[in-house]
Structure 1
Amino acid sequence: MSVHPDTLALNGHAGAVDCALDWPAQAPRGWALLLHPHPLYGGARGNKVVTTLARACTLAGLLAVRPDFRGVGRSGGTYDEGRGEADDMLGLPAQLLERFPELQGLPFVLGGFSFGSAVASQVEARADQAGLPPRVGVMLVGAAVERFEVARVPPDTLVVHGEQDDTIALASVLDWARPQDQPVVVIPDASHFFHGKLVPLRRVVENYLRLVLPAHAG
């Protein structure tokens, strides 16, 4: 039985940020911060797309950290349209590394789904200024470009979208990606929540992690 905790309360600007921790089978070779969809529409860290991302990360040897945003579960505060949520997320890495010093210097991956993808993009845009550890990978799934500001991302970012997404049109994601020359991985027949397509999604994420991790961790 693992001696690691499976939840951890960290501090945000509006109160506690309650996080689920998914540990790999062996000592972590890195860690990932994975952000969930819209809090006002049932989004939470247990969302099946987010847990699919977490599963891919743990299989790659990463500790997956899944926080609940403001007002969700045991996290304090109320929904703030992505602004306060990004502020909270920018403060988590330093706290996590203080709590688990064995993660210091290990690869860090940032990811999000839907609303969480918009927050992740804002965190990435402000990460260096905020003193976050370098990210070896960024993953945006179901990027909410029609509803929130999704910032430009590094050229090696993984962007995944469903062909039949009825919440955020694929065409809108391509319009966002085109000025950046950002590739988009399209999963055929997939809806916004990837019903029946979670296995292909996980495989795409696993392949991406294999590409970004080896140069940084053995």
Structure 2
Amino acid sequence: MGPFRTGILYGIVAVVVALAANLHFLLLDASGTPGWILAVIEDFRTTLALAAFLIIGILAALRTTPERLDEGVSYRSLLLRDCTLAATLVAVIVGIALIIMVFLQATVLSGPMQTYASDAAPRIVAYIEELGDRFSDPAEPVTAAQIEEDLAPPTLGSLGQSISNFVLRALLLGVAGALVGLLRGRRLARSEEAARRPSPEETRDEKQYPYEYPHGDNGAVSRDGEEDGRKE
């Protein structure tokens, strides 16, 4: 597939990941979920989502194939361009989706998100305290108010940070796509070089019979240039 179709397809997959990572509070009942699960989700969901976006962008770069061949432009250059374009398009699609989600969290979804934060904070603190009792030198204790503040819905001012993350994410996935394009182009160049390289049998024949002339009408010529003397 071309870079646009590939980027859009994998961008939709990335949007699904973003929905699961940022709207999880609509799916989870914090009051009935174990504290360790809530702690793991809140600690690693952003990192795991970014890693998933990177993997999806790399897959998009691996799956894309140049559809339009420009005259005078090498296939390796087209491959580099289209791989970068496909991965960047994934970042653009998921970035727009994340900005919309932040806006929704700050407006219409602020109530459910605040309820989730209020229910999840005490359970996370209880798990952290239970975990700290197992160590002789526990970390500095945290309060439920601190956890609830971290889980609270964003404000409209957070849209600026979302736009900054959008740009950084596009740069990251674009660079990853470019690296994939370079590696694919290098592999293609090696394959073409191997195809042009003579086989060992051909090389041995050339060394053993350096001269070879076409057969005449009335006699054949040997490989060393001498006439065989076979005549009709």
Report the TM-score range of the alignment, normalised by the length of the smaller protein.
Answer: under 0.3
With normalisation by structure 1, the TM-score equals: 0.26
**Bigger relative contact order, structure 1 or 2 (CA pairs below 8 A, ≥6 apart):** 2
TM-score, reference length from structure 2: 0.25
Which structure has more strand as a fraction of its residues? 1
- Higher radius of gyration, 1 or 2: 2
